[in-house]
Structure 1
Amino acid sequence: METNTKKIDEISIPVPWGHVAARTWGEAQDPLIVCVHGIMDNAGTFNRLIPYLPNSFYYVCIDLPGHGRSSHFPPHLPIHTINYVLVYRIIFKYFQKKFIIMAHSYGGQIGFIFAQLYPECIEKLIMLDTIITFPIAVKNFKHYLSRSVDAHINIEKKLLEKKKPPSYTHEEALDRLWNGRSYAPIKLEAAKALLERAIAPTEDGKFIFTVDQRLKNAINPLRDIRCTIEMLKVHPVRCPVLIVLGSESTAQQVFLSSIIQFLKRRRNVRIKYAEGNHDVHNDSPELVAPYVVKFLLYQKNKL
């Protein structure tokens, strides 16, 4: 295990609608790694992994808008994946230098799109149990989009009607976060790592969750498998890519076997498996870290 001598700090990155909060590890003059969590999570998802990683990098673990301690996107409109591609671009302009992306789940899917759009900004890409945004089959176009529009209207109605969000004791909040995962359960220590940035105190000594409720209905780009593969051929991710998948995870790989097979044939892509589920990087960071360390320390021309 890497000696945990990294300096830890909190920073705030200005954006037009407020700020993006981030926890940093290391020294700002070192090579930059932007670490991005999955949907409904926060920067705490990396708390247990980063102590295993080299001290020679500057890790900036952001809370995406609507998560953790970051501002929510402006109200009333649906959340779309492209909103978050914009955030990646703003972060690049803030730091004014190329960076490595290390991202889990939805954060990695957004990072993959960003690497396709702005290859000049990215040194390397590390994807933790994720590949691409879920494809939308042509036959499902009408159902997917009409359902998303109606779901947004229903969420907006509830937000306008509800004067105060529900509050919980610290123990109740931890239990909800620990046992409320969509894809697979996580270990208690992993849940504790997320809880710190997921809640805010109330005046009566309880806690509320800060996550933007619109995220329950985030809308992905409308593209099917065929379109996705064609776009990867025409606009490939050119930087070195490491994909670490949980061996027991069904979050994406069961549905995207054709994408996995396509990526395995790319010379710049490495796909590895670690024993665990969708949150294996948080549940068992000691299993994921060796792959990440080796990838980070490789020279680009040796991949």
Structure 2
Amino acid sequence: MISSFSNNVYKMHQRTQIMRTTTFIKRRFSSAHITLKDSNYITREFEEISIPVPWGHLKGKWYGTRNVRPILGLHGWQDNAGSYDTLAPLLPNHLGFLSMDLPGHGHSSWLPLGISYHSIDYVSLLLRVMDYFQWDKISMICHSMSSINGFVFSALFPEKVDMMVGLDVLKPLARSSEKIVDNYKNCMNNIILHENRIISSEPPSYDWDELVDRLYYGSKKSVEREACKFLLKRAIRPSKDYPQKYYFARDSRLKTTYFYSFSKEVPIEMARYINCPYVFIKALQAPYYESRQHFDKTLDIMKQNPHFEYYEVEGTHHVHLNDPIKVAPIINSFIHKWRPS
């Protein structure tokens, strides 16, 4: 039942007993393969936290110690803080881990009606979080959209980053001038439509199996069915109109997010500014979302940073959620190198 899941899933994390060897670009790790089905779970306690912002609040899950600055976990587009539910228990215990819901996602406040979502605003959001906690540095584990934002933040403020982990998407995607113009036009045409729907009615509601199907197929099968529950925990609300059904509670205006409108030269120039400790992990069964040549050219520049590491792992775009043991040894080695205490 969904009600049972909602009460208990945040206490449930997984680990398997099946062994597999995973090969990476720089080194090899032999480690346990995690499967979400018929597996044993590990539990790591966390505390729900709230950060005030001018439009409301940011919500997050703080794992572990509060005595030292944590690593900040930032999720992908239309995901939420549950994206790290399976990875968080595998991270080192000497540091806390703060997995955040970005604006419009999970339990965090939506932007006011009439205000659109812009990718660059998620970058400036990091400065707000740092100011709230009075951090002079930031450590990040970032997936997908947030991995792009972490790249941009590291380029603009390399002196503020002491550790950056990027998962699967390296940088702002290269787009032609025609696509940039079309994106602006489509977003402007659609934003009022989405706002009118928000005002007029509750979103469509579904039973549990339908919710899983919509997330599974909506992610192009990137999120395994057994992993869907970790994202759905913070993504759904009970319907007022249809008992026993639930609706997706993220802000539907996220579908019309204004993503970066950079030419292909801008990310390349940004890469030249990144000199902080940085590791990037690419999932081999995930697309590049752009011409491979743009990825490779930026990667070549990133490799000029002596503190940069690059790995490839088998898995889909959400490998860190589906099979976290494939990325945990890489991340943990990087953490122990740059945040050993």
Same fold by TM (over 0.5)? yes
Describe the shift of the 1:36–1:299 C-alpha distance in structure 2 as closer, same or farther (beyond 3 A): closer
Structure 1, residues 176-225: CA drift from partner, whole Å, max 9, x if none?
2222215x432122211111011112343321111111111211232111
The residue aligned with 1:265 is 304
Match of 2:201 in 1: 163
* 8 Å CA contact 1:253, 1:260 repeated in 2: no
Give the CA deviation at 1:295.
Answer: 0.4
Partner of residue 138 from structure 1, selected from 140, 160, 177: 177
**Could you tell me which residue of structure 2 aligns to residue 150 of structure 1?**
189
Aligned match of 1:194: 231
Shift of 1:67: 0.5
215-224 vs 11-20, which deviates more?
215-224
Matched, 1:278 2:317: yes
Change (3 A) 1:157 1:200: closer
Select which of 196, 214, 228 maps to 1:176: 214
Identity over aligned pairs, percent? 31
Q: Does 1:72 align with 2:110?
A: yes
Give the secondary structure class of the aligned counterpart of 1:11: strand
Q: Which residue of 1 aligns with 2:23?
A: none
The 8 Å contact of residues 13 and 21 in structure 1, kept in 2 or not, is answered as yes
Mean Cα displacement is larger for which, 106-115 or 21-30? 106-115
Given that residues 239 and 268 in structure 1 are in contact (C-alpha distance below 8 angstroms), is that contact kept between their aligned partners in structure 2?
A: yes
Q: Is the 8 A contact 2:168 2:283 kept in 1?
A: yes
- Corresponding residue for residue 251 of structure 2: 212
Whether the 8 Å contact between 1:242 and 1:270 is mirrored in structure 2 is yes
User: How far apart, in 2, do the equivalents of 1:141 and 1:22 lie?
Assistant: 33
SS of match in other structure, 2:227: helix
Letter in 2 for 1:225: K
Q: Distance in 1 between matches of 2:83 and 2:154?
A: 22
- RMSD of the alignment, in Å? 2.3
The amino acid that maps onto 2:81 is A
1:69-108 matches, within 5 Å, as 69-97=107-135, 98-108=137-147
Aligned residues: 297
Displaced runs of 4 or more, over 6 A = none
* Structure 1 residue 9: Cα displacement: 1.0
Deviates more, 1:164-173 or 1:94-103: 164-173
Decide which moves more: 239-248 or 107-116: 107-116
For residue 195 of structure 1, what is the amino acid of its counterpart?
A: L
Runs (5+) with no aligned partner, structure 2:
1-14, 16-31, 33-40
- Larger deviation: 137-146 or 125-134? 137-146
Normalising by the residue count of structure 1, what TM-score does the alignment of the two structures yield?
A: 0.90
Asked whether 1:246 is paired with 2:315, we answer no
Runs of 5+ in structure 1 lacking a partner?
none
TM-score, scaled relative to structure 2: 0.81
Aligned pair 1:62/2:100, yes or no? yes
Tell me whether 1:14 sits opposite 2:56 in the alignment: no
